A = this chain, B = another copy of it.
Amino acid sequence: MALVLADDMLGRALQRVQREVDAAFDAILPVPDDPRARLVEAMRYATIGGGKRVRPFLVITVAEMYGASRSAAIQAGCAIEAIHVYSLIHDDLPCMDDDAMRHGKPTLHIAFDEAIAVLAGDCLHDLAFELLTGPEIGPDPFIRAELCGALARASGHNGMAGGQVMDMAAAQQTFDLQGVTRLQQLKTGALLMAAVEMGAILGRVPEEARAHLRAYARDIGVAFQIADDLLDHEGDEAKAGKALRKDAEQGKATFVSLMGAEKAREQARFLSEQAVGHLAGHGKEAEVLRALARFVVEREG
């Protein structure tokens, strides 16, 4: 994945999170000396060295803005990334989206096999909750329980996985703009909101400030998805590191098919600026969040 912002503040902050998340997964997933070795190698293949790490970045940035320990936030960031990665592994399976490339390398069921892909996804799914209840998170059981609850609610049938089912139905059904927005709020938005929420839980952020952070997350979630639709419509497969033009092939309604590319681009920029507006109560410490809101609509991968 080519990061276009490698030498600015956001680029440096994202790269730091990428290094920390890679190092954490490397430490969390030692390869056992028994027949589970291949499973754990598959979990490492999927988690180490790929992806922008937007969700851990949100967890860590929000947590640190409110004084939480960075090591706890990295752990929670790895938990939400484990959920994100497991969902990509299962989405890529032949019986689902049947994708062969992800983050510029063969998908897990190609590099290993389907059975390992199902099980490695399942194990990453568990790992998320193991990390959130582990000692790195700190001694407060309230924080551990709240983190587990926020992540579980965002990823199941009322969140990410529910959105994935609606997305599968999108090839058969006709969704209008409201339908697509609802679908994407579940499929992508719920987990991005959970990332900010988890940072807020770690930072013990008061409810009023939390509402602004949620509004920020909601807006960048939709902006992120519109940008994804635009990438699918007109992006460069080499930069994206995966197959594109799949939505049109499958006749799926997207923001771009419903609004047209120009209107969609305008809407993404509007939401990005609106997201920045929700951070008005914050000073310089939120500057990377503002930069992220602008980055998600301009990215090329």
Contact = CB atoms under 8 A, between A and B. Distances in A.
Interface of A: 34-36, 38-40, 43, 86-87, 90, 93, 95-96, 113-116, 118-119, 121-123, 125-130, 132-134, 141-142, 144-146, 148-149, 151-153, 155-157, 159, 161-162, 164-166, 168-170, 173, 182
Contacts of A165: 35-36, 38-39, 116, 119
Nearest to A134: B149
Most buried by B among A35, A116, A166: A35
B149 A130 contact: yes
Nearest to A97: B115
A38 B172 CA distance: 14
A107 to B, nearest CB: 14
29 contacts: A35-B173, A36-B165, A36-B166, A39-B157, A39-B162, A39-B165, A43-B157, A87-B122, A90-B119, A95-B113, A95-B114, A95-B118, A115-B168, A116-B165, A122-B125, A122-B161, A123-B157, A123-B161, A125-B126, A127-B157, A129-B129, A134-B149, A141-B141, A141-B144, A141-B145, A141-B146, A142-B145, A144-B145, A145-B148
A39 B114 CA distance: 22
Nearest to A170: B35
Total identical chains: 2
Contacts of A118: 90, 93, 95-96, 118
Contacts of A119: 90, 96, 161, 164-165
A114 B94 CA distance: 10
A156 B127 contact: yes
A95 B122 contact: no
Given A90-B122, A141-B144, 16 more contacts: A34-B166, A34-B182, A35-B165, A35-B166, A36-B162, A95-B113, A96-B115, A116-B165, A119-B161, A119-B165, A122-B125, A122-B161, A130-B149, A133-B149, A141-B145, A141-B146
A152 B133 contact: yes
9 closest A-B pairs by CB? A126-B156, A133-B149, A95-B114, A35-B169, A129-B152, A144-B145, A141-B142, A123-B157, A130-B152
